[in-house]
Amino acid sequence: MSSRLTSEVLHPYKVKYLTNRPQEELRKLALEHTPAMMETAYGNLNKVTFNKARKAAWTYIIAPAADADQYSGKLIDADKAEKLLDSVKEYVEKVGTLIEVQGYESLGTRAVGVQWLFTPEIANVAGMQQVMAFPRDMVETKEQLAAPFKATLRLVMVPGLKAEGMPGGQAMLVDLENWTSYVIGADYFGESKKGALRMLNEYVYQRNGLTLHAGAKAVTIDGKTITMAILGLSGTGKTTTTFSKQGELTQPIQDDMISLWPGGEVSITENGCFAKTYGLTEEAEPVIYRGTISPSAWTENVFVSKDGSFEFSKGRINPEETKHYKEILDLTRAPMDNVEKFIKGEVKIDEIVNENDIPEDGWDFAVWTQNGRSIIPMSSIEDAADLNNVPPVKSMGILNRDEGDDAAFPGIIRFVSPEQAGGYFMLGETTKTSAAGKDRGRTRSPFTQPFFPRHFGLQPKRFAKLVATMPGTVTWAMNTGWVGGDALDVKAGKALKIKIRHSSAMLEAMLSGKVAWKKDPDFGYEIVDIDHPDSAELLKKVPAEILNPVVFFEKAGRMDTYRTWVTKMKKERREFLEKYEVDENIIKTVCG
């Protein structure tokens, strides 16, 4: 008998189900059953995970190898998957209890029912996921509430089970045929959150929409309210940009994913936000900061000091701090021989960590992960928008966190056509961040959307169809990283950092129309005309070198670096777009 689950049976395993338990009970279960949990001084809980990010390399779609050209990720054949799912069933029924969260992705007519199932050892993720999901009583009628829940999508998460024969003993299995995802051997919340959202991508695509890896906010300018969508890979500043203020009123809608439909209609996905906390301050990001220290929040991989307070900018840790965290480091699979050597002072931090704070293999524990997160309910978000009444999208952009000696992407650009926007959105270009682990350097991910399970080339085609139904929508891109270097170069006075206040000012100027634009001679998109009087106010807030990086490279006597970058970008971008069979007319708008 097949172990692959279908939504036709609500409770497929022979176990006790703890269904829709209150947050207080889930917190208690997490403290009792979840390893490496910490109570904080704020009345919330922090979990330290052994996985510090999603494992895309260990995610597999169940499909025959012959169909590989139809999908974006790795495949696993049905027979091999079946053996793993047999072990899931055996493990779950041996444990004997599952925490069940019933909820929805989205609201109203676009709502999709999801059932999440967790073994007690991952009770914290059950609590987090319950915060993120829309509860039944926000979606269903009284009659529906009285009947058994009807799930369209399902996710099963068992971190205590080793996926035998699989790399790292972990496997994230995607069963598109039965709308079910399985997370085996992993303890990171993102696997639960994105597992359901990956399925939603497929569900929406089959219904003529497109799910975007994007935040969204309602912005009121001159009395008119629009929705702004902000695409970006993890760590590019999506949440920060979503919560920055422009116009007379800015109201957050979503921080991570939305679905786009004909006419610019937006359907939301989640009832909370999953915010990065590294470098978090009340001054720069007051909404996220106050939400994170709220008792209703959950946190993951945030450094907690001895007094229970958060240290959001923690980097290198010292031997005393390592000793304090010794038990948790053991639970999260740090090599204990190395931990002991570090505590005893036999190995010094500078011997195992380079100038960019990248540790050698086996010494990751010595630098606290920058991928700390907080899970905040929308009810804790100040000035959140009415999620039942979201305006159509009229402004849509993508974030590129550029970094390196040849970082030359302008502070903000405006696309001259839907085709050009589609090309740059397809590139999904940025520099790899802490969410990607140790990997550094530029990366590209179609539509910033590693969660789209079908062939990535389908996305620009769908996008073009949708934008054709959205006249007047402004598309743009923004650099949230550096110009001419990185953080170390900024300290040395050799590069510029694009700060949150710069980004907010650039968006404000674009939305209000208080800026002049001109065509970029190398790429054909529009950049800020820094010599035009209409741009004078923006230039008081943002350096000319950020708005037009050519100025930076000219002043630094590095125009050869800039010209090399232009040639390199055109070549690499064309190769990337051709790989996904993007229409030549779109490619020409990007690469000439």
Is the model's pLDDT at 194 over the cut of 50? yes
Looking at the fold, whether 150 and 163 belong to one and the same domain comes out as yes
* Alpha carbon distance 525, 424 (integer Å): 10
What pLDDT sits at residue 464? Answer: 87
Dihedral Cα 288, 294, 296, 299, nearest 10 deg:
60
Looking at the fold, whether 31 and 52 belong to one and the same domain comes out as yes
pLDDT band at 6 (very low <50, low <70, confident <90, very high): confident
Looking at the fold, whether 186 and 227 belong to one and the same domain comes out as no
pLDDT band at 440 (very low <50, low <70, confident <90, very high): low
Is the model's pLDDT at 436 over the cut of 70? no
Long-range contacts of 446-450 (CB under 8 A, 24+ apart): 446/72, 446/580, 447/212, 447/213, 447/231, 448/212, 448/213, 448/214, 448/231, 448/232, 448/233, 448/236, 448/398, 449/201, 449/211, 449/212, 449/213, 450/56, 450/72, 450/213, 450/233
Is the model's pLDDT at 107 over the cut of 50? yes
Looking at the fold, whether 220 and 188 belong to one and the same domain comes out as no
Report which secondary-structure segment, H or E, holds 373.
Answer: strand 373-377
Report yes or no on 521 lying in a domain: yes
What pLDDT sits at residue 432? Answer: 67
Looking at the fold, whether 442 and 580 belong to one and the same domain comes out as yes
pLDDT, tens digit (0-9, with 9 covering 90-100), for 123-138: 999 999 999 999 999 9
Task: Give the CATH number, domain containing residue 113.
Answer: 3.40.449.10
The identity of residue 490, as a single letter, is V
pLDDT band at 234 (very low <50, low <70, confident <90, very high): confident
The whole-chain average pLDDT of the chain stands at 95
Report yes or no on 132 lying in a domain: yes
Report which secondary-structure segment, H or E, holds 443.
Answer: strand 442-444
Mean pLDDT of 148-173: 97
Percent of the chain's residues with pLDDT above 70: 98
Report yes or no on 514 lying in a domain: yes
Report yes or no on 10 lying in a domain: no
Mean pLDDT of 430-437: 60
Domain that holds residue 421: 211-271+387-591
Mean pLDDT of 473-479: 97
DSSP state at residue 53: S
Looking at the fold, whether 458 and 428 belong to one and the same domain comes out as yes
Instruction: Count, in order, helices (H) and strands (E) of the chain.
Output: 20, 30
Report yes or no on 490 lying in a domain: yes
Give the burial class of 204: count Cβ atoms within 10 A of its Cβ; 0-12 exposed, 13-18 middle, 19 or more buried.
buried
Looking at the fold, whether 313 and 418 belong to one and the same domain comes out as no
β pairing state of 298-300 and 45-47: parallel
Is the model's pLDDT at 435 over the cut of 50? no
- Look-up: residue for tokens 């907080």? 374
Looking at the fold, whether 427 and 496 belong to one and the same domain comes out as yes
Q: Which domain-ending residue is among 179, 207, 235?
A: 207
Looking at the fold, whether 115 and 149 belong to one and the same domain comes out as yes
pLDDT band at 149 (very low <50, low <70, confident <90, very high): very high
Looking at the fold, whether 587 and 504 belong to one and the same domain comes out as yes
Q: Which domain-ending residue is among 323, 351, 373?
A: 373
Looking at the fold, whether 555 and 452 belong to one and the same domain comes out as yes
Count of domains for the chain: 3
Query: Which runs of consecutive H residues, i.e. helices, occur in 370-515?
Result: 418-427, 458-467, 487-491, 500-512
Q: Give 255 or 432, the one with higher predicted confidence.
A: 255
pLDDT, tens digit (0-9, with 9 covering 90-100), for 258-296: 999 999 999 999 999 999 999 999 998 999 999 999 999
Percent of the chain's residues with pLDDT above 90: 92
pLDDT band at 434 (very low <50, low <70, confident <90, very high): very low
Report yes or no on 284 lying in a domain: no
Looking at the fold, whether 347 and 368 belong to one and the same domain comes out as yes
pLDDT, tens digit (0-9, with 9 covering 90-100), for 478-521: 999 999 999 999 999 999 999 999 999 999 999 999 999 999 99
Q: Which domain-ending residue is among 350, 373, 396?
A: 373
Report which secondary-structure segment, H or E, holds 564.
Answer: helix 559-579
pLDDT band at 401 (very low <50, low <70, confident <90, very high): very high
pLDDT, tens digit (0-9, with 9 covering 90-100), for 321-336: 999 999 999 999 999 9
Report yes or no on 285 lying in a domain: no
238 and 399 in contact (C-beta within 8 Å)? yes
Which tokens sit at 245?
Answer: 């203020």
Report yes or no on 278 lying in a domain: no
pLDDT band at 437 (very low <50, low <70, confident <90, very high): very low
Is the model's pLDDT at 341 over the cut of 80? yes
Is the model's pLDDT at 380 over the cut of 90? no
Task: Give the CATH number, domain containing residue 414.
Answer: 3.90.228.20
pLDDT, tens digit (0-9, with 9 covering 90-100), for 42-69: 999 999 999 999 999 999 999 999 999 9
Is the model's pLDDT at 158 over the cut of 60? yes
Strand ranges of the sheet holding 258-260, from the earlier edge strand across to the other edge? 210-212, 258-260, 266-268
